[in-house]
Structures are given as C-alpha cells and as structure tokens.
A and B are shown apart, each in its own frame.
Chain A
C-alpha cells in the first residue's frame, strides 16, 4: 500500500514550500510538490537518457554498442505512438496538454492540465511504458523530424551554439546536435529503438516529478496501479574521454543575419553533484559581477555600441562537461572577446567588488522566490535537482553559503584564457542575402 512508503518531506524555511520524495518499490524515484490554491498540475516523467548516451553496454556485455546520432530524440517522438493510437489522442480525452523533449542527458514526457490530473497521469505512466516501433512508423517520422532538423539548420543561434561546442570539445558527444542529422536518423531501425528503450527506460533509471494541484496519496495509488517493476539494468555509458585543452580556437559560419552573432566560451574541468551546483553558482556570480547589466564593462560596451540587449551569460554543465559562455550580437566580436578577457584577468589580479556581490546575492534570492510562484518551474526544479543528485532546496542552501572569497579564488579556474574559444556567425554577403 502506498501509505506504507517512507516519505521524506523537504521544506524551505523562508518560503514554507515543501515537497515529498518517495522511492517506489518499482524502482522509480518520485518527487511531489503540492501547491496550495493552484489549479494547474505539471508532470514530468523522465528517463536518464539523452543524446550523450550514444555508446553503451549493460551488465554482462563486453562491448559497447554504438547507436546513430539523434536516436534518443527519435525515440522520444516514437514513444508517443502506441499500437492503437497516439498519446495526443489519449490526452485529448482528459484535456491535458502533452509534450516531450530530449536534452543532452535526459528525455522527459510531460503534461500540463487544470482538471482530471489523475486520468492524465494514467495516460502518461501507461504510454511511456508501452513502446511500439515498426519500420512503417519509423518511415513516417523521418519526414517530420527531417523538417525539424531543417528548421534548426535555418537557426543561426543554434548553429553558433553547436559551433562553440565543437570548438571547446574534441570528443565529448555534447558537440553533436541532439536531433542528429537527416543522414544519421535514416539508419535508425525498430531493433535499435527497442535496444535503447530496454536499456535506459527501466524505472530504476527514471524519475517522476509532479507539482501543483495534486493529492500525494492519490498519485501514489495510481503509481501502484500502473508502474510495472522492471529489472534493475544498470546501463554503462562509454566513459567520455575529453582532453583538458580546447579542440580549436574559432569556428565561423555564414548565415542571413543582421549583424555578427558570437558565442565566447570558457571550458572548465567537469564537476558532479553538489560541487557542480556550487561551481555553477560561482561562475554565474562572476559573470554577473563582471558582465551583468549592473557592471561597468557591460554598460561601457553598450555605450560603445559593441554589444546590445541580446548580450547574455550562461553557465552550462552536465555529465563530463562544464563551460561558461558569453553570447550576443556585435559588429566587432573579437574586440568584445578581448575586453571580456581583460576584465576577467584584472578581476583575478585585483579582486572583485564585495558590495555588489552582496547586492547580487540578494537579487538571486529574489529570483529563486519568484520561481516558486510557478508550477512548471517547481516541477522542472525537482527534475533538474534529481538528475544532479541533489535536493531541491540545496539550490538555496548552496547559494546562501557561497562566499566572496570562494568566487574571488575561482576566477582563474572557471575562466582560463588558454581554454577560451569563440564561434561566429557572419552575415551573408549583402548581394546574396535575398
């Protein structure tokens, strides 16, 4: 009975928000965040399987199996289709809006609804556990995903993003487009899809996160009914071997764009667990202090017309990779890169501004509180925390514990000029533009 499960309740003291964690006997990790007064329910059922898992084996196998690029994303599309009908038709009966997405390290199936959440949850748990792949259904999907790939090939920001990853990483599969290519997905067969499914879509390798208008007991009862215990296969992904140095300094592409688009990246060594979270907060704080919209340099570069409102900073990380990126549009991206590096070097030598650090720390607390106002954010936060192996409110705790001394010390580690690379998208020659 579900009531017998051990439930761990986690609560944030300041906001009084709390969620429940249950390890279900089927092997599934379940995270439930009940939100008083909200009508929406957001559910995410995710497999720890993404585009990075292109080479794997299971216990007892000697050799790694290599699968075509883009297969995790293809599987996500195909899982929506069962033998009798597709998941969209089932959601239509409950009124939920269903969707799915694939990232580097996980694939998530989700729904959002404001009524009948129990029925929608039954749909979600059922179809994800019932794969149905045939040659015919694969053939049909090639056209649809082919157009998705073509659409992304017309997207200069996406091109610049992957160009940067190809500069920073020589071997790590993060450099490969999640959707694959028209050529790679043409190699996908029903057998390969079943192999990937059976390896990664076992409940011990999956997470269920639901936030909003729910009753915890009712959710667990539905889980008892529908979760089919699966053998605890432990997929082993081929270790990512990646040199410390960057692969190349710069890649340039040409697109019909208004002005050059740039991504300036700093490759770092990879981290995991709470250390990964801590380093990501430190990197974000350094970027905010030196290049955020409250910084001197950001405003100077804006005044000089070297950057505009498209400028942004981000810390990106996952299994075996960690990098920091400055991106935007500029008439002179090389000068922007030079000025950023000069600022980072000066900060490493002369230190950072403690007063602004305190204000920005308070600001970050405010943005976390704002996030707890949104059902979708809470569901996604539970998922990202589970995938990272941390508790949700660790986010607040780790951030609160971050010190000025920590970030001052880590500038060089997180922004090593020797491991900086840049991708550029330059405008097509005006004569060829249209």
Chain B
C-alpha cells in the first residue's frame, strides 16, 4: 500500500502532517519548533527541551514519567536539538506500538499524545520559573555533556573544525550545547522566558507517522496547537550558503591522542542540490568512491575517509582518521581526487553505479516510519513534498556534465587537523 502524506495549516506558522503506511507496527508523533537564535543562547535553548521532557505538572518526577512510558508498552519520548541554516530546531519525538498490537486493546497512541502535550504545555513551575531542583540538575547534566564532548575524538574534531574554522563567525558554526562558560551563566529565569517565546514565536511543524487510524490522537494535537497564542512568528530560512574564505585556511590543534583526525571543507556559492549529492557520493560516500578506492584501498592511508554534502550550507565535508606522519600526504591525496572529479574523471559506469546505490538508499526510507518522518521534515524545509520515488527520478535525471559543473563550483575552503600532542604545536596558518 502506498504511503499517504498530507500537510495542513492549523494556525499562523503551525502545520500538521500525517504520514500513513499500514505495514508498520508502530506510531510516532514528532513536534518540531523552529526558532531564530543567537549563538550565545544555545545553552539555554538546549536546556529548555531537556527540562520539558524529563517531568511536568502531570508527571512531576522522572520516575513517574518513565513509569508511564513503560506502562504504554515501552513507549519512547525524547527531545533533540540541531542547527539547520539560521535556525535552532528543537524536536520532541514520541513513539509506541500500534494500538492493534496491545495485549488488552489499550489506546496507547492517544495516551502517549497526552503525555507529549503535558510535556510541552504543562511544565512544572515555581515562582515564575521552572522547578529549581530539576533546573539545577539539568544544568549540571548539560555541563557534563559539554565536558564529555572530547570523549569522541571524531565528533569533537568535527565540532572544533566547524565552529573555529569552517563556519567561523556564522550561525552555522554555533555549538549546539554552547561553550562551557556560556552554559555556566544560564539562569532558570532566562530559560523560562525563552519558553514563553518558544511557544509563541516558533514556527511549528507536527508530524504524525502512523500505521492505523489515530484520529483521536490527531484531534488532540490539532486542538492543542490551534489554540496557541501566536506572537512574532519566525519565518525560517534554511538555505544559507556558507561564506567562502578568500584563500583556503589551515588550522591544527593538539590533544593526547594516537590518531590524527582530519576535516576538510569545500564550498560552493551555488550548485544544483541533486548533482552535489551525487558528487559527494562519487567523491567519498560509498565504497566505490574515489576516496575509498584510492586513499584507503590503494594508498592504505586510513580506515575511513568519507565525504558528505551539507546541503543547507553548500559545503562538502571530508573526514578521515590517519597516522600523523601522513597528514600532508593524505590532504594532497584528497585534493587530488577532488581535482580529478573537477576534471571530468567520471565514467558513465561509475555514475550509473553511484546512482543505483544512492537511489537504493533513498528507497529504503519507505521501510522505516522514522525515516519517512525525517524525509518529510526535509521536504518541508525545501518547500516541496516529493516522495522518495519522485526524488529518485530527479537523481536519475542528473547528467555527468551536471556533476562536473557542480564539482567546479566548489573550492577548498578549510583544512583542520586534531593531532597527537607530540605533533606540531597549536597554530593557525593561512
């Protein structure tokens, strides 16, 4: 049975989308708040959904809320945060098994939506702020989270590279949880003030992904979100090409590690999105790509060397883990492989095989309700409502020349390396 997708407006800047596919055994609801933000605000913006999702007036302790979720057949409820374009995007996600799979015919989906609405609309408050004990606890957890960012060397290197070099001075370079000093200074009152504007001013997208009739749950969502008093509603701008540096810049930092983590960025002022996606795949996204076949397989320089196209910033990011003595050799090899693509070193066979693999991955979105929700979130940002199959047709229409043209619109912008302490001293160079 084909997937059904429908989106409608509930209020100024509030939309609800329903995605239905009866082959699944689960139902999900995602509520996304898209807000304007200042980079210095990110710790407060990160704390806000955390405090809303751990307890509320109806479930006043974490234990009570978690027990409620367990009683709904291990229903899930979580929050996530990310920066997309010039927006801070906060998502609440709730999921449970479909009602028809419950043992005693319980209406778990509607019950879970009540929990979700309690979290968003009925926070536990005192004296014009959130519960002070919970706030202090979550603030400490946020500080722990910030401190622990160095645990994963790959993601830490990427964070350092994007914030300090690749997107330096841009909103895109803002750190999702903020810097420690900023987080230390956040107050309960600031976060509560933010909450008020969060409801009134955010652009809101609600997604219901279901495998059965969940009209009761949808009605509850529609009633609750139609009634939100709207303020100065944010108009999201997602596509913000990153500024291209006049000359490629290099930066390195040191840490007590064994392996050097390399991050490179190529940027384009304007390019065709579908051609750029195939370019990234040919360059380093799939196992037959230039980087995998040459930098890894032929030159044995690394275990992983991959590229991805960040469509909202027109940036092609490359990440690898290498022996420090091969830093220059690897950087040169990556640049050489990119030059080959710019020069048209793409056979029709390579292109056909890459399309086959990428379109296959796109088609797999049909087999996960969460993937379908993410799919239509992206479609909303693009201002379209294409199905995976419709985008597959667009990808198949991209020509070799389109990709070469896209490749030539990119140029090397940044090279960042997180190196073992015994390597070179910390320095910036232009």
Contacts and interface: CB of A to CB of B under 8 A. Distances in A.
Chains A and B form a bound pair: yes
A86 to B, nearest CB: 8
Contacts of A360: 70
Contact of B360 (A114, A302, A309): A114
A330 B377 CA distance: 36
B150 interface: yes
A363 B70 contact: yes
Interface string A413-434: 0000000000000001000111
Interface stretch (B37-45, B96-104, B220-228): B96-104
A129 to B, nearest CB: 20
A401 interface: no
B144 interface: yes
Contacts of B353: 92-93, 95
Contacts of A37: 1, 21-23
Contacts of B137: 302-303, 305
Given A150-B258, A156-B151, A359-B70, A40 B364 contact: yes
B66 A293 contact: yes
A384 B151 CA distance: 30
A127 to B, nearest CB: 13
Contacts of A295: 63
Contacts of B21: 37
A266 to B, nearest CB: 24
Contacts of B152: 155
Interface stretch (A194-202, A272-280, A366-374): A366-374
Contact of A92 (B133, B357, B361): B357
Contacts of B357: 92, 95-97
A359 B152 CA distance: 36
A19 B38 CA distance: 53
A259 B148 contact: yes
A95 B303 contact: no
Interface in A366-405: 366-367, 369-370, 372-375
Contacts of B62: 293, 299, 302
Given A258-B148, A366-B74, A374-B368, A150 B259 contact: yes
Interface residues of B, number: 73
A186 to B, nearest CB: 14
Given A93-B353, A154-B153, A154-B258, A39 B23 contact: no
Interface string B138-161: 001100111111111100000000
A110 interface: no
A144 interface: yes
A292 B148 CA distance: 22
Interface string A301-333: 011010011100000000000000000010000
A279 to B, nearest CB: 21
Contact of B255 (A92, A372, A434): A434
Contact of A308 (B72, B144, B149, B421): B144
Nearest to B369: A373
Contact of A112 (B153, B257, B364, B366): B364
B361 A363 contact: no
A261 B62 CA distance: 23
Interface string B2-38: 0000000000000000000111111000000000000
Given A147-B259, A293-B62, A299-B63, A309 B367 contact: no
A130 interface: no
B254 A36 contact: no
A217 B171 CA distance: 55
A428 B25 contact: no
Nearest to B61: A299
B255 to A, nearest CB: 5
Interface string A37-74: 11110000000000000000000000000000000000
B75 interface: yes
Interface string B343-373: 0000000000110110111011011110000
Interface residues of A, number: 78
B81 interface: no
Nearest to A330: B144
A92 B63 CA distance: 49
A354 interface: no
A363 B74 contact: yes
B75 A113 contact: no
Interface in B119-150: 133, 137, 140-141, 144-150
Interface stretch (B162-170, B181-189, B240-248, B294-302): B294-302
A142 interface: yes
Contacts of A142: 300
Contacts of A40: 363-364, 367
B359 A147 contact: no
A433 B255 contact: yes
Given A366-B73, A369-B97, A36 B23 contact: yes
B396 to A, nearest CB: 12
Nearest to B25: A373
Interface string A255-284: 111110100000000000000000000000
B430 interface: no
Contact of A143 (B26, B95, B300, B367): B300
Chain A CB within 10 Å — which of B67, B101, B151, B292 has the most?
B151
Contacts of A363: 70-71, 73-74
A231 interface: no
Contacts of B23: 36-38
Contacts of B96: 366
Nearest to B104: A362
A144 B153 contact: no
Contacts of B322: 147
A252 to B, nearest CB: 16
Contacts of B321: 147, 150-151
A160 to B, nearest CB: 10
Contacts of B74: 362-367, 370
Contacts of A433: 150, 255-256
B354 to A, nearest CB: 8
Contacts of B368: 373-374
A148 interface: yes
B216 interface: no
B253 interface: yes
A143 B148 contact: no
Interface in B310-326: 321-323
A151 B262 CA distance: 12
A356 B133 CA distance: 26
A333 to B, nearest CB: 14
Contacts of B144: 258-259, 308, 329
A409 interface: no
A91 interface: yes
B101 A369 contact: yes
6 contacts: A114-B363, A142-B300, A257-B148, A299-B61, A299-B63, A302-B137
Given A38-B23, A39-B363, A258-B149, 7 more contacts: A14-B101, A95-B360, A143-B300, A150-B258, A294-B66, A362-B70, A432-B421
Interface of B: 1, 21-26, 61-63, 66-67, 70-75, 95-97, 101, 103, 133, 137, 140-141, 144-153, 253-259, 286-288, 292, 296-297, 300-304, 321-323, 353-354, 356-357, 359-361, 363-364, 366-369, 421, 426
A-B pairs with the 10 shortest C-beta distances?
Answer: A366-B73, A258-B147, A143-B300, A37-B23, A95-B356, A258-B148, A363-B74, A88-B287, A114-B363, A366-B74
